[in-house]
Each structure stands twice: as C-alpha cells, then as structure tokens.
A and B are shown apart, each in its own frame.
Chain A
C-alpha cells in the first residue's frame, strides 16, 4: 500500500470503507457491462424466449452450444472468421516490419527531412478514411485487388505503417544512443547495428504494436465495405452485419455471432494486456 497515491488508498479510511468499496466494485462492474451481459444472456436463449419477450429474465433453457454452432452451420461465419485472420496477420507483419526500418531511420540518423517525414507519418495516421476512399477503391478495381484478401491487407498495412512508425520512432529515440555510437566506432555496418543492436531492444514495442494493430484491423468495418463486395473476402465485422440481415428477429443468433467476432481481440487484450496499454497511450503517457 502506498500512502502517496491519489485518491487516498481506501484502506486508510478504515475497514468499513474498504468493505463497502469492495462490495460496490462488482455492482459497478455489472452496471458498466450491462449491455454486454444482456447480449450474452440473449446469445444462450432459445428462439422461444426471444419471441415471447423474455429478454431480461432467466433463460427458460440454455442453448449455448446449439446457438453458437448454429451460427457456423447456418451462415458463412467460418469463412468470415478465416478471412479476418488472413487479413489481420499479414497486415501486422508488414506494417510492423516497415515501421521498424523507418522508425530506426527517423530516430537514429540526423538529416534535414527526418522531422518533416516523421510528421508525415503522424499526420497520415489521423486523417479521415473518407479522403482515401475513392482513389483507393478505384486503384483496387484497376489492379484487380478489389474484393480480395490481398487488396485489404495491403491497404491496412500501408495505413497502419503511419501509426507504427510514430510509435517505433519514439521508442527507438528513447534508447541510449551510446550503444549505436560505440558500435559505429567499432566499424559495425549500419544494417548490422539495426539487426543486432536495435532490433533486440525494441521487442516490447513490436509486441505492443502487434496486439494493437491486430485489434484495430480486426475491428475494421469501413474498409471491409469499401473494398469487398461478395462473401469470399469479407471479414467478420462486415459478416456480422450481413448476418444481421439474414437472421432477422433471430436475436439469439445475431448476439452469438457478435460475441464470436469479439473473441479474438478480447483474447489478444487479456493475454498481452501490458503491451496493449503501452501501445494505446501512444508511448506519451509512460
């Protein structure tokens, strides 16, 4: 227990306050996650409950397994999920690799355009997607990348390179420069410094970026609509919307599909929490 925290540690206010706080926590959590709990309960109900309006009460029967398998057997959900994986994984690999290289160049070398180039990557990361939509869509159609997996991950990788470079450059900038300096004096080639000195040190940044980009791209909905048409290349986010149309009034199935779509990023977050949060704060809040 630290005495110098703000707000004051609850323990200091006596055992009564602590007990009150600890019993209020779960209540607050349930209120906060109420929409999510409600949709989970819906996802394990039977169709009968939905039709009879039993949305709040205890489910009359539990259909966890039936509902979740129905999503896969009655729709293209499996294809959508696979597509999402096929889009996100290459995106993460390409954007993080490019950002390692670019971030290294922008952090280590002192050349005149280093800062303007860095700002270009930063600015690109904040622009509205809509300003890219027409040209990227048109280019994808022209090059045959429209409605393909590759068309999506190439775009995502390029766009996420902006954020990754921002993060990676700041991370490398914070490393002790002496390390690079002394390697240079010993005559180590530049690419070897990158590979053997810097790369091992930026592993935490790579992990943070990997989980973050995975989540961002997995949750993308806009580009899934702009760059795909048929079922073949649709990721799960666009798929869930399609299912919503297909399963009209089958709220138990829509709920189950929504929760399935959320599982990979949630897992990602819980397994790599520390890295995830480090990435979200843009490295600005340590």
Chain B
C-alpha cells in the first residue's frame, strides 16, 4: 500500500481516510432519523416526567409546563390505579410465559413429515399474523354472555329455555352466565388468555425452526444409548433449542409488557380500572377526556421503561457475549 501511495502525487485527506469516513456516510441517514424519533424522545419523556403539563403552549409559543420535581412519582406511589396496573403487568409477565412451553408442545406435535404438513404448520401460525385488534374483537365476542360462544355453551349446559305467551324466549339458569370481561376478578385473565393465542403461535414457529436444526447425529447417538421420550426431550433436544428458547422468552416478555391493543379493544382498562396495565394506563392519563396530563403520563411511561430496561440490558449483555465469542 505504502508503495502505491508514494508513486501517486499525495492523495487528499478524504482519500487517505476513506475507510474511516465511509461508515459515517452510510450511517448518517438512519442515525438522524432514529435519533429524532426514538433516542431523543426517550430523554424528553424522562425529563417531562418532572413537569406538570397539559400539552398546551402560550401565545408566545412557549410550553406551559411547570417544574414539579419528583411530585409525579410521589403521586404515583399513592395512586391505586398505578398499583393495579403494575400488579396486572406482573400477571401478564407470568402467565404470558405459558406461551413458551405451549409453543414447544405444539411444535413437537407438528414436527412430522406426513403429507400436507406444511399447510398445517402455516395454519397453526395464523393467529400471529392477524392484528391484535382483530384478535381482541374476536375474543370480546367469544366471551360475550348473551350471544358469544362462551354464553351459548353455558346456556346449553346450565340453562333451561322457556317461551312465554308472547313468544319471547327467556333462559332460567342454574348458574348465571359468566360475564368474563365485566368481572373485575376475571377480566384480566380473559384478556391474557386471548393474548396467549397469537403468542403461542409465535413461539411455536420459533421452535419448529429450531427443531429443524437439532443435530441429527446427537439424536441418533442418544437413541442408540436407549434415550427416548421425555428423557430425550429434556437432556438432548431442549439444550439444543436454547437459541429458540432465548428468543421466545425475549419476545414474550416484550409482548407482555407492551400489551395495549387487546386491553384497549376488549375492556379499555375497565371494569373500574381492574384490567389496566402500565402501557394502557399511561395512554389513559396522558390523553384522556379530562384534559391531557403529559407530565404524569410520562412518569408512568418512565416506570414502564425502567422495567423494560432490565430485560433490554440482559438481552444486550447476552448479545455482547456472543459478539465477543465471534471475534
């Protein structure tokens, strides 16, 4: 290289530093865009959580936000809705994890090569492709006690149909039909069950891909050693599925903490705030009918962000380990 440089009349600074400048030119568009819409807003939100602001500007175009320090967080501490939301978030996190073993179970069931298998695999994946809004509507109707599937089955088992003189049909039920989404005790679980449907499909596809790559020789060797069934699954297959399990856990945790769509569609946080989670509660306080409370909303968002940061750090740490090994 040095020889070539000597034979030519001194190349310019740009040319000499070509390899140092080039990456920045490739990076700048994405970086600017990402900074404006993602990185800077995170800090703005954290900062805003120390203000009280209804989102308005005065005539001079200045924000009407008032500095309140940590007041919003103090208020959060004594806000029962916040604690309900946090508890529901925990319920989501724990119960949503069922998607991982259920997904593995279905993947094992479907990991066969009989004719038409491809069709079945993609049909089982179907729930993940449709929007959560649609899933929420489907299940909202599914749970409806008057004309939904749950109500219809319940009536068939526990109720007697009677027709009065005017020809109106009424039901006399041994047990009243459960109205899952109107019950403060059950609504959250009803929504989580609905949310599990697409999430199980996602985990299933991760495991199906993983199962495809389980080292054939190890299975064969284990089989020669007499391993089969649960033992084979636990000691030979599951350890090899670790990358799939890792991604499944990560996307499930994130899905659980991001749950918003289903709640907004099925209950809007009700009855009496009993199904709220932080993601939905934040939206509710920040943009509500009673005027915007951007500062308080940002405080809720900051708490959610802090929780998510634990998982993000873990994920990044794992990625960092992989990167180090790759070098």
Contact surface of A with B, Cβ cutoff 8 Å: 1-11, 18, 21-22, 25, 28-29, 32-36, 38-39, 42, 50, 53, 55-56, 94, 98-99, 101-102, 104-106, 108-109, 111, 114-115, 117, 119-124, 126-139, 154-155, 157-159, 161-162, 165, 190-191, 194, 215, 218-219, 221-222, 225-226, 237, 240-241, 244, 251, 254-255, 258-259, 261-262, 265-266, 268-270, 273, 277, 280-282, 284-286
Q: List the A side residues contacting B126 at CB < 8 Å.
A: 33, 36, 266
Q: Tell whether B173 is near chain A: CB-to-CB under 8 Å.
A: no
Residues in A with CB closer than 8 Å to B257 are 128
With the chains together, A102 CA to B28 CA distance in Å?
Answer: 8
The 8 closest A-B pairs by CB, nearest first: A158-B37, A4-B216, A105-B26, A135-B41, A219-B131, A102-B30, A109-B23, A130-B301
A147 to B60, CA, bound (A): 24
Q: How far is the CA of A42 from the CA of B149 in the complex (A)?
A: 11
B261 pairs with A221, CB closer than 8 A: yes
Contact B298 A115 (CB under 8 A): no
CB neighbors of A among B164-179 (8 A)? 169
Contact A190 B22 (CB under 8 A): yes
Known contacts A2-B216, A39-B138, A133-B283; is A22 also within 8 Å of B30 by CB? no
B40 within 8 A of A: yes
B residues near A33, Cβ cutoff 8 Å: 123, 126-127
Majority SS of interface residues in chain A? Answer: helix
CA distance A80 to B206 in the complex (A): 32
Q: CB distance B220 to A4 under 8 Å?
A: yes
- Please state if B30 and A165 are interface contacts (CB–CB under 8 Å): yes
Q: A6-B219, A134-B294, A258-B138 are in contact. Are A101 and B127 (CB under 8 A)?
A: no
Name the residue on A nearest B262 (C-beta).
Answer: A221
Q: Is the CB of B209 within 8 A of A277?
A: yes
- Cα(A269)–Cα(B260), bound, Å: 24
Q: In whole angstroms, what is the CA distance A134 to B292 when docked?
A: 10
Would you call B31 an interface residue if the criterion is a C-beta within 8 Å of the partner chain's C-beta atoms?
A: yes
Q: Are A134 and B45 in contact (CB under 8 A)?
A: yes
Residue of B nearest to A238 (CB): B133
Determine whether the beta carbon of A134 is less than 8 Å from that of B261: no
Within B131-157, the residues touching A (CB, 8 Å) are 131-134, 137-139, 141-142, 146-149, 152
Interface size on B, residues (CB 8 A): 108
B197 interface residue per 8 A CB criterion: yes
Complex contacts, A258 vs chain B, CB 8 Å = 133-134, 137-138
Flag the segment in B74-82, B92-100, B104-112, B182-190 that touches A. B104-112
B67 CB → nearest A CB, Å: 16
- Nearest residue, chain B, Cβ from A42: B141
Given contacts A262-B131, A280-B206, contact A129 B260 (CB under 8 A): yes
Please name all residues of chain B whose beta carbon is closer than 8 Å to the beta carbon of A218 when the two chains form the complex: 131
Contacts of B265 in A (CB 8 A): 221, 241, 244
A122 & B41 in contact (Cβ 8 Å cutoff): no
Majority secondary structure of chain B interface residues (helix, strand, loop or mixed)? helix
Nearest-CB distance from B7 to chain A (Å)?
14
A28 to B120, CA, bound (A): 10
**Cα separation A284 to B210 with both chains bound (whole Å):** 10
Complex alpha-carbon distance, A28 and B204, angstroms: 15
A121 to chain B, nearest CB (A): 7
Contact B34 A124 (CB under 8 A): yes
Q: Which residue of A lies closest to B33 (CB)?
A: A158
A119-B304 contact given A21-B114, A25-B120, CB 8 Å threshold:
no
14 A–B contacts from the bound complex (CB under 8 Å): A3-B220, A4-B216, A10-B112, A36-B126, A105-B22, A105-B27, A122-B315, A127-B308, A128-B257, A137-B287, A138-B55, A221-B260, A237-B131, A262-B130
Considering the complex, which residues of chain B in the window 39-71 have a beta carbon less than 8 Å from any beta carbon of chain A? 39-42, 44-46, 48, 55
Give the Cβ gap from A7 to chain B, nearest Cβ, in Å.
Answer: 6
Are B39 and A221 in contact, CB atoms less than 8 angstroms apart? Answer: no
B321 beta carbon closer than 8 Å to chain A: no
Q: Is B90 among interface residues, defined by CB-CB distance under 8 A? A: no
Q: Are B202 and A280 in contact (CB under 8 A)?
A: yes
Determine the distance from Cα of A126 to Cα of B255 in the docked complex, in whole angstroms: 10
